């Protein structure tokens, strides 16, 4: 009999989790299907694979990356640690709770390099279109080999969509913005705070991007930062130089008008207005249609597309948990594809989703939302052999993280947390985050040499 075939779109943390899940089964002697992962970039890591480019890449594909220079983890690393590959195992030393992007990228790669899964990935290959044949129950993928400028098709029994959902900007229009004389971009194209030094900046939005880009620009020398909110302000106690204002109504040249009647002049605008779930390679009936929230509708157990469970989506929820959630999803999805998990009827799946959707509708912010996602992970982790980790303790850490940010948005990254995987307490970083202008892995992992005292230097000169 022919082996079943699994196609994975995307080699970011979610797609890599799927590859790792199959490798784990293989190591236990289980027979696994033939797997091919398609990645439109030249390397793995998804968002964590930093791109200095904006707009399009060297083959004319839209740039996927939304991360920027000086990006540091925005939550404690202890909340995302792989439970089968600890930070201690990777770095062989104790590191702080909030590493910069290159350090987390290194960690992601460390686990996957242990297995020879790179061979499963076809880089520089974009999934262009998907169709499903109801009689053969197979997917046909139209793929573009970008390097060789060639289109070809392949058939799969299961399709895993791991293409991420923080890449296609949601870019609202505000009257008069077309005449704004300064720079107007979306957070997706923000590549670092340097260029905003000495500027008066307006950021529209009041979630993670607005918070972090605002703080980054403040840290790197912006003259002032205003965050404009539509529904709720972020509401932490901001330092002098950052403030929150209600929503912009319109612009007159470089002047923004706010809906409380106030006006202010700005040098640049950054839309921190979130992202669209965008799947240009999927026909409407297979496409997940959702806003960014903790329980997108039509995904049973958060991953199986209810109309067609052979179509699996990973990492499509808004995220408190990241790497460890993608893992629990990927392990469960693997066991379904291996025939070890049988799904209930479509109606039963609908009823299960409805229960979660109802709870999601009634959710408050903060702690409630953390508990919701923790319960979701508890619900699915029991379906596979993904190594258990103390989810309740991670939930407590998330809640402390929320309080740390409220207490001081500039210093929360100096706090340390204890790993639920190894029990190790994180080290304090050698430099306080507000004084740390270098986000390189080398600088992060090595204690900087102490500056010679001034009198020694003077002696040398004499």
Residues that bind ligand NA7 (CB under 6 A): 74, 166, 170, 172, 187, 204-210, 230-231, 247, 272-274, 292, 319
192: nearest Cα among 96, 274, 72, 273: 72
Query: Is the separation of the CB atoms in 25 and 338 below 8 Å?
Result: yes
For residue 204, the minimal CB distance to ligand NA7 (Å) is 5
Instruction: Report long-range pairs for 242-250 (Cβ below 8 Å, ≥24 apart).
Output: 242/214, 242/215, 242/218, 244/206, 247/204, 248/174, 248/202, 248/204, 249/174, 249/175, 250/174, 250/175, 250/176, 250/177
Contact flag: residue 416 with ligand FAD (CB under 6 A)? no
For residue 75, the minimal CB distance to ligand NA7 (Å) is 8
Contact flag: residue 39 with ligand FAD (CB under 6 A)? yes
Contact flag: residue 37 with ligand FAD (CB under 6 A)? no
Residue whose CB is less far from ligand FAD, 277 or 349: 277
For residue 316, the minimal CB distance to ligand NA7 (Å) is 12
Residue whose CB is less far from ligand NA7, 144 or 212: 212
Residue of 42, 94, 322, 431 interacting with ligand FAD (CB under 6 A): 322
Residues 46-65 that bind ligand FAD (CB under 6 A): 46-48, 64
For residue 295, the minimal CB distance to ligand NA7 (Å) is 14
For residue 78, the minimal CB distance to ligand NA7 (Å) is 16
Q: Residue 310: how many CB atoms within 10 A of its CB?
A: 18
For residue 262, the minimal CB distance to ligand NA7 (Å) is 17
Query: Is the separation of the CB atoms in 229 and 214 below 8 Å?
Result: no
Q: Which residues of 63-72 are buried (b: 16+ CB within 10 A; e: fewer)?
A: bbbbbbbbbb
For residue 245, the minimal CB distance to ligand NA7 (Å) is 12
Contact flag: residue 127 with ligand FAD (CB under 6 A)? yes
Q: Which residues of 244-254 are buried (b: 16+ CB within 10 A; e: fewer)?
A: bbeebeebeeb
Residues 136-165 that bind ligand FAD (CB under 6 A): 162-164
3-class SS of residue 244? strand
For residue 386, the minimal CB distance to ligand NA7 (Å) is 22
Residue whose CB is less far from ligand FAD, 67 or 381: 67
Q: What gap in Å lies between CA 461 and CA 459, rounded to an integer?
A: 5
DSSP 8-state assignment for residue 176: T
What would the x/- binding string for ligand FAD be over residues 77 to 116, using CB under 6 A? ---x------------------------------------
Residue of 7, 8, 12, 214 interacting with ligand FAD (CB under 6 A): 12
Place of tokens 């469970």: 309
3-class SS of residue 444? helix
Q: Which does 415 bind (CB under 5 to 8 A by kind): ligand NA7, ligand FAD, none?
A: none
Pairing relation of β-strands 200-204 and 263-265? unpaired
Greatest extent of the chain over all pairs of C-alpha atoms, in Å: 88
DSSP 8-state assignment for residue 10: -
CA of 195: how far to CAs of 22, 200, 203, 216, in Å? 44, 12, 15, 11
Residues 213-272 that bind ligand FAD (CB under 6 A): none
* Span of 66-74, 266-274, 348-356, 436-444 interacting with ligand FAD by CB under 6 A: 66-74
Residues that bind ligand FAD (CB under 6 A): 9-15, 38-41, 46-48, 64, 66-67, 73-75, 80, 126-127, 162-164, 166-167, 281, 315, 319, 322
């Amino acid at each position: 009999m022919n082996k079943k075939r699994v196609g994975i779109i995307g080699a970011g943390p979610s797609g890599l989790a799927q590859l790792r899940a199959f490798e784990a089964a293989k190591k236990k002697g289980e027979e696994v299907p033939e797997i091919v992962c398609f990645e439109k970039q030249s390397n793995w890591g998804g968002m964590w694979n930093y791109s200095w480019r904006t707009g399009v890449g060297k083959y004319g594909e839209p740039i996927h990356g939304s991360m920027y220079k000086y990006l540091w983890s925005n939550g404690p690393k202890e909340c995302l640690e792989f439970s089968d590959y600890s930070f201690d195992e990777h770095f062989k030393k104790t590191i702080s709770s909030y590493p910069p992007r290159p350090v987390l990228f290194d960690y992601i790669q460390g686990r996957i390099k242990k297995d020879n899964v790179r061979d499963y990935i076809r880089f520089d290959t974009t999934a262009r279109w998907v169709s499903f044949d109801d009689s053969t129950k197979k997917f046909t993928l139209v793929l573009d080999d970008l390097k060789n400028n060639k289109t070809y098709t392949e058939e799969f029994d299961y399709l895993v969509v791991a293409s991420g959902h923080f890449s296609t900007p949601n870019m609202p229009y505000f009257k008069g913005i077309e005449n704004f004389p300064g720079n107007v971009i979306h957070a997706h194209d923000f590549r670092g705070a340097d260029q905003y030094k000495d500027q008066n900046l307006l950021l529209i939005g009041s979630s993670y991007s607005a918070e972090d880009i605002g703080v980054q620009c403040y840290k790197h020398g912006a003259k002032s930062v205003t965050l404009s909110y539509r529904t709720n302000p972020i509401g932490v106690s901001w330092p002098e130089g950052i403030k929150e204002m209600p929503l912009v109504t319109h612009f007159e040249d470089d002047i923004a008008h706010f809906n409380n009647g106030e006006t202010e002049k700005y040098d640049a605008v950054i839309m921190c207005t979130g992202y669209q779930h965008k799947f240009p390679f999927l026909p409407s009936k297979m496409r997940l249609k959702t806003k960014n929230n903790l329980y997108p509708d039509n995904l049973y157990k958060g991953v199986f597309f209810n109309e067609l469970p052979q179509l699996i989506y990973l990492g499509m929820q808004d995220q408190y948990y990241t790497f460890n959630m993608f893992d629990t999803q990927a392990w469960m999805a693997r066991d379904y594809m291996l025939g070890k998990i049988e799904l209930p009827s479509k109606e039963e799946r609908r009823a299960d989703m409805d229960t979660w959707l109802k709870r999601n509708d009634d959710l408050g912010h903060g702690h409630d939302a953390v508990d919701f996602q923790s319960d979701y992970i508890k619900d699915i982790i029991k379906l596979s052999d993904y190594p258990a980790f103390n989810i309740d303790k991670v939930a407590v850490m998330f809640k402390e993280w929320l309080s740390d940010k409220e207490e001081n948005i500039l210093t929360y990254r100096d706090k340390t947390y204890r790993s639920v995987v190894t029990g190790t307490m994180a080290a304090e970083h050698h430099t306080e985050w507000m004084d740390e202008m270098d986000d390189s892995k080398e600088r992060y992992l090595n204690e900087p040499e102490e500056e010679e005292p001034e009198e020694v230097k003077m002696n040398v000169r004499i």
